[in-house]
C-alpha cells in the first residue's frame, strides 16, 4: 500500500464530470427506462405473444435497473469521499 495521496486537476475534473453524469442524464434515463418498461409490462397497454415474453423478463430487468441506480449512487458517493480524504491529506497538486 502506498503512502502517496494525489488528486490532480485532471482527476478532479473527471470526478465532477462523473458526478454530473450520474446525477443528471444517466439516472434520469434509467428512471425513464423503468417508467416505460412498467407501462409496457401491463397487458392492457401492450399485449401479444412477444409482449408476453417481454413481461416474463421485465421484472428481472426492472430489478437490475434499480440495482444499477443504487450502485452508481454508491460509487458516486465513494468517489466524492475518497477525493475529500485525499484533499484533506494534502494531495491536491
Distance CA 16, CA 48 (A): 45
Give me the pLDDT at residue 3, please: 76
In a domain, 46, yes or no: yes
State how many domains the chain has.
Answer: 1
In a domain, 68, yes or no: yes
In a domain, 84, yes or no: yes
Give me the pLDDT at residue 92, please: 66
Give the residue among 65, 43, 63, 44 at the shortest CA–CA distance from 54.
Answer: 43
pTM, entire model: 0.79
Low-confidence residues in the chain, pLDDT < 70: 1-2, 91-93
Give me the pLDDT at residue 23, please: 86
Give me the pLDDT at residue 89, please: 85
In a domain, 4, yes or no: no
Give the structural domain span for 56. Answer: 9-88
Give me the pLDDT at residue 93, please: 61
Amino acid at each position: 500500500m502506498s503512502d502517496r495521496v494525489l488528486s490532480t486537476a485532471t482527476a478532479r475534473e473527471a470526478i465532477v464530470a462523473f458526478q454530473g453524469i450520474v446525477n443528471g442524464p444517466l439516472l434520469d434515463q434509467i428512471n425513464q427506462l423503468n417508467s416505460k418498461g412498467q407501462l409496457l409490462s401491463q397487458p392492457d397497454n401492450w399485449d401479444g405473444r412477444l409482449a408476453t415474453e417481454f413481461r416474463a423478463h421485465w421484472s428481472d430487468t426492472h430489478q437490475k435497473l434499480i440495482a444499477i441506480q443504487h450502485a452508481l449512487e454508491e460509487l458516486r458517493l465513494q468517489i466524492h469521499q475518497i477525493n475529500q480524504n485525499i484533499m484533506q491529506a494534502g494531495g491536491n497538486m
